[in-house]
Amino acid sequence: MMRRDPRSGTIFGVGLGPGSQDLMSVRADRLIRGASHVAYFRKKGRTGHARRIVDGMLAADAVELPMEYPVTTEIPFDDPRYNEWLAAFYERQVAQLDEIAGTGHDVVVLCEGDPFFYGSFMHLYTRLMDRVPVEVVPGITGMSAAWTATGQPITWGDDVLTVLTATQPEAMLAERIARTDALVVMKIGRHLDKLRRALASAGREEDAWMIEYASMAQQRVVPLAEVGERVPYFSILVIHGNGRRP
């Protein structure tokens, strides 16, 4: 942690939790309602999920700083342009946040779920941490909301829990699925067919549940067998452990 310059503002990466305002921490709620400057990621032309979560919470005079991604799914992540464009994007956002903090203002950066768990804020954090004071407020993860929505414990006793992203190669997915007791798969999107094949190869397809929009008004929990050809962006697959218990 760097020593805080009394003349500098602080950048707060605030975890919003899985999507429901009443699942935020008390500290997150306080910081958001009291913020003079609020930044959030969004796709160009969209409101942004993080901004929708805090609807009605911001002060009337809060300055909003939407950070619009130059690319999301338009090109594959292994295209050389992907990292190049995103790196330049993050540098621009960091310069803006650094400038605002330099004038003595704090900035709350809204982060879906937990800021340090597959979130975009991490890319700001690593660039800002040696330049201005940065604090992180953890949040309930989407996967926690997802397995809670199933009404079953995700792990028992000595169960091993594995968290995967469906973006990985099919063979790697199948191998890791076969070796674990309990499972969470995120970033499913257009990788659903590949994930189905990997689960079938590992002999775990019938154990899988799909949770869409966990903790939100449109939440849906169904066995994977009942899922269609596509799933919404906010979808998480889980397999429950069945380990040791008294």
Is residue 70 very low, low, confident or very high in pLDDT (cuts 50, 70, 90)? confident
Three-state secondary structure call for residue 191 = helix
pLDDT at 149: 97
Q: Which fold has domain 143-239?
A: 3.30.950
> How many angstroms separate the CA atoms of 96 and 91, rounded?
9
Q: φ, ψ for residue 163 (rounded to 5)?
A: -110, 120
Q: What is the mean pLDDT of residues 3-26?
A: 89
pLDDT at 75: 57
> How many angstroms separate the CA atoms of 68 and 97, rounded?
14
Q: What is the mean pLDDT of residues 217-231?
A: 95
Rounded to the nearest 5 percent, the helix, strand and coil shares of the chain are: 35, 20, 45
The percentage of residues in the chain with a pLDDT greater than 90, rounded to a whole number, is: 85
Which residue is listed with tokens 């954090």?
A: 125
96 has a pLDDT exceeding 60: yes
Q: What is the mean pLDDT of residues 200-225?
A: 96
The predicted model scores a pTM of 0.89
Q: What is the mean pLDDT of residues 110-132?
A: 95
Q: What is the mean pLDDT of residues 69-83?
A: 68
Integer angstrom CA distances of residue 209 from 148, 153, 178, 205: 12, 13, 16, 9
pLDDT at 157: 96
**Superfamily covering domain 11-140:** Tetrapyrrole methylase, N-terminal domain (3.40.1010.10)
The percentage of residues in the chain with a pLDDT greater than 70, rounded to a whole number, is: 93
pLDDT at 45: 84
Check residue 2 and report its DSSP letter.
Answer: P
CA 211-197-185 angle, to 5 degrees, is 35
Task: Find the range with the poorest average confidence among 2-6, 67-71, 158-162, 163-167.
Answer: 2-6
> How many angstroms separate the CA atoms of 125 and 133, rounded?
10
Of residues 28 and 1, more confidently modeled: 28
Domain ranges of the chain: 11-140, 143-239
pLDDT at 95: 97
pLDDT at 1: 45
CA 115-124-62 angle, to 5 degrees, is 80
Three-state secondary structure call for residue 94 = helix
74 has a pLDDT exceeding 80: no
Read off the pLDDT of residues 123-177 as tens digits, 9 standing for 90 and up. 999 999 999 999 999 999 999 999 999 999 999 999 999 999 999 999 999 999 9
> How many angstroms separate the CA atoms of 41 and 52, rounded?
11
Q: Is 102 exposed, middle or buried (0-12, 13-18, 19+ CB in 10 A)?
A: middle
Query: Residue 100's beta-bridge partner residues?
Result: none
